[in-house]
């Protein structure tokens, strides 16, 4: 009995001490269809299966953080419709603070159509809809919540000026700013220096730097260039090749993903799970190396199941896979 009480006390204490993370991003509903191959332009093909579920990069990141045990709030704009209600239900079920959500009576919640082939590869068309109306002023109005957060994450699914405003407020309050530049949009240089960590995937790294990223060596080169453009630290994700780190303009390390049982069936949202888990780990004061390994593991688990937000692993699953993967530090 005493042991149970001590365990409960420790858990409460841990929860109280957990530092807050704020995500400024998008919620949409994903309509995902599964087929052998992805359709080519102008082609109609017969698929095998479909699912409808929660998506949107920022929202997926928030769910990934909550599932992994973090304290997270989401600033997003949704419509007062069935899709929006799906989001609200999701946050209640997953433990994401939704008090900062903006629900607009006159607009529709966004949606994404996603095609996924037999190797889990995907192509995505996302229409942010109501999220396009998330303005910089709306973020200014939420300043006090950013002030009380340790970490802020944002990306390019919301309007660019809103992402910039979020990062500026994050800077003002000494938040750790994480910028996931996805999907890539043309930006001016100012934005890179507003983030402590910039986390593109290989495609976004190419679009930002002009350096084709096919392997870890290319990724180091692109990351160093991104630092020359103003970023402090860069983490480039490389799908099945894991991720590389570039710290203060210097080549860091390459981390292959750990061994996780099962086949890859759906990579949608893998980057979001990576970003969520990475942010949580960095917020908890872990090193960038430990955080990349933690994030690699969380996203490796997620690609073995269907869905975006709902493929995120919970803390216990990550822990179990960590102990089964004591040699998972495939650092090169
Ligand atoms: O990163 C995956 C997400 O991108 C999907 O959930 C889709 O909604 C798009 O926003």
Q: Give the alpha-carbon dihedral of 255, 259, 260, 262, to 10 degrees.
A: 120
Of 25, 33, 57, the residue with max ligand 1 atoms within 8 A of its CB, to mutate for a pocket test, comes to 57
Of these residues, 81, 82, 272, 327, which one is catalytic? 272
pLDDT in tens, 143-178: 999 999 999 999 999 999 999 999 999 999 999 999
Evaluate: CB of 124 within 6 angstroms of ligand 1.
yes
**pLDDT confidence band for 10 (50 / 70 / 90):** low
In 10 A of CB 82, how many CB atoms? Answer: 10
Of 27, 51, 114, the residue with max ligand 1 atoms within 8 A of its CB, to mutate for a pocket test, comes to 114
Please tell me the distance between residue 58's alpha carbon and the centre of ligand 1 in angstroms. 9
Cβ atoms of residues 99 and 157 within 8 Å: no
Q: Which pLDDT does position 329 carry in this prediction?
A: 47
Q: Which pLDDT does position 322 carry in this prediction?
A: 79
What pTM was estimated for this model as a whole? 0.93
Active site residue 104: no
Evaluate: CB of 204 within 6 angstroms of ligand 1.
no
Evaluate: CB of 86 within 6 angstroms of ligand 1.
no
pLDDT in tens, 104-143: 999 999 999 999 999 888 899 999 999 999 999 999 999 9
């Amino acid at each position: 009995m005493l042991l149970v009480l001590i365990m409960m006390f420790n858990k409460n204490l841990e929860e109280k001490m957990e530092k807050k993370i704020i995500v400024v991003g998008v919620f949409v509903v994903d309509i995902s269809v599964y087929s052998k191959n992805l359709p080519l332009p102008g082609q109609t093909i017969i698929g095998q299966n479909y699912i409808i579920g929660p998506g949107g990069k920022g929202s997926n990141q928030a769910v990934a953080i909550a599932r992994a045990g973090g304290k997270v709030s989401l600033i997003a704009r949704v419509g007062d419709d069935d899709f929006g209600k799906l989001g609200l239900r999701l946050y209640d079920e997953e433990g994401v603070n939704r008090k900062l959500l903006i629900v607009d009576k006159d607009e529709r919640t966004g949606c994404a159509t996603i095609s996924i082939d037999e190797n889990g590869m995907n192509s995505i068309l996302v229409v942010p809809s109501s999220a396009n109306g998330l303005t910089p002023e709306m973020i200014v109005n939420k300043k006090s919540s950013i002030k009380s957060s340790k970490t802020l994450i944002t990306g390019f699914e919301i309007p660019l000026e809103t992402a910039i405003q979020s990062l500026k407020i994050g800077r003002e309050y000494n938040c750790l700013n994480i910028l996931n530049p996805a999907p890539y949009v043309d930006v001016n240089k100012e934005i890179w220096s507003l983030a402590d960590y910039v986390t593109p995937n290989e495609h976004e790294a190419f679009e930002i730097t002009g350096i084709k990223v096919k392997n870890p060596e290319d990724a180091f080169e692109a990351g160093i260039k991104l630092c020359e453009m103003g970023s402090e630290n860069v983490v480039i994700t490389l799908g099945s090749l894991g991720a590389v780190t570039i710290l203060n303009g210097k080549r860091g390390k390459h981390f292959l993903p750990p061994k996780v049982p099962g086949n890859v069936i759906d990579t949608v949202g893998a980057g979001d799970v990576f970003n969520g888990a990475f942010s949580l780990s960095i917020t908890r004061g872990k090193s960038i190396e430990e955080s990349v390994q933690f994030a690699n593991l969380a996203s490796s688990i997620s690609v073995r199941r269907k869905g975006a937000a709902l493929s995120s692993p919970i803390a216990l699953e990550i822990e179990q896979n960590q102990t089964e993967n004591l040699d998972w530090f495939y650092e090169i």
